[in-house]
A and B are shown apart, each in its own frame.
Chain A
Amino acid sequence: MSELTGKVAIVTGAAGNLGRAVCQTLAARGASIALLGRHAEALEATRAGLGESAAFPVDLVDPRGLEQTVAAVRARFGRIDILANIAGGFAMGPPLHQTSDQDWDRMMDLNARSVFNACRAVIPHLLAAGGGRIVNIAARAALKGQGHMAPYCAAKAVVIRLTESLADEHRDDAININCILPGTLDTPENRAAMPDADHSRWVGTDALADVVLFLVSDASRAISGAAIPVYGRS
């Protein structure tokens, strides 16, 4: 049997660059994958070749919709073992004093509220199953604020504190909760935005997906509440 055979993983932001890599990596180790994201067609395209999997289009900011979706995942697969909160997004903007409510809310919703909602919806199922794993994606920028990035830095800092608090709440429930702090990811979008950068120093999505794999595997059983830097050589 493969390492994750029989396990069911929910992957949010499944159709994004990192989400696709995580889905493929976990599926290759035998996990069944529930792909969550906003765009049904993109989710279906990501499903191709994944094996046991199903797409669940949902807005992660809508707690009621997410709760129903997680219940649907449970009904479809019979269990939930892993939550990989991959959904998120980055945007630079004006200085903070010129930042609009909409820009602030967008970064918070995309990066922090989505994690809060997903954890809140999934944890009761992990408790019922007797344990599980949650991996959140924070960012290197969560550790130190930077100009023109305040909403993003603040939202990712929320993810770290949320991870620590959850890990503390569930340290005796066999639920391990950790987050990853990626440096710059090597994606087509980042290459287009920074064509002159040394891309070989960035973190590949497959390499980051391997860290997610480690954190959902039995090998990481002694780690919970950690924020793990994955910077490549950047």
Chain B
Amino acid sequence: MPPIMIALPGALRQARKRGHAWRGLSLLRPALLGLSLLAPLPAPAQPPLDESTTELLVAAVIAATEVDLYNARCRSDQSGRRTDNLNKLLASKFRLTVLKVQDDLFPEKSYRRAQTRLQEEFLARLKAAGGCPGAKEAGMPAELGDRYQALMREIERLP
């Protein structure tokens, strides 16, 4: 049993000295079991998301992206804070990231294409509203912020 000799040579030598090699090996079992526990364990599988949760997460990602895009475009705030906060919430609650939601739950199945579409759609909407001044006049910042906050609260309430 060369691997055991390598792992615990002292214990095996002692067992042999006493003429109880097999008993010695049985004594080693708990130690070997302990060693096997050191091997990486697979992470517990997350249950699949139901349809309403999926819709909620997609809506929240869109809402966070739109607030961040508005702030980047109209307030020179490039922080992406809403997406970061959503990311934190998703990581703690679902072991998910915003990128993963965009990759897996958006119709594009690609975060790059999803982000491109969201950006194009939002910029078209901003333009239609009369640019930053028109959007502000129409109450867009408050509307975007309220929607984002409501969706965040809804996710927080999930079990």
Residues of chain A whose beta carbon lies under 8 Å from any beta carbon of chain B: 1, 5-6, 78-79, 129-131, 168, 171-174, 218, 221
Contacts and interface: CB of A to CB of B under 8 A. Distances in A.
Contacts of A174: 87-88, 91, 97
B134 to A, nearest CB: 22
Name A's interface SS.
Answer: loop
A129 B84 contact: yes
B136 interface: no
Contacts of B91: 130-131, 172-174
Nearest to B80: A6
Nearest to B91: A174
A79 B72 CA distance: 16
Which of B91, B95, B100: most chain A CB closer than 10 A? Answer: B91
Contacts of A129: 84, 88
A131 B97 contact: yes
B122 interface: no
B78 interface: yes
Contacts of A79: 79, 84
Contacts of B99: 218, 221
Given A218-B111, A221-B97, A131 B87 contact: yes
B85 A130 contact: yes
Nearest to A128: B88
B48 interface: no
B87 A130 contact: yes
12 contacts: A5-B72, A5-B78, A6-B72, A78-B79, A129-B84, A131-B88, A131-B91, A131-B97, A172-B43, A172-B95, A221-B97, A221-B100
A174 B84 CA distance: 10
B143 to A, nearest CB: 22
A131 B91 CA distance: 9
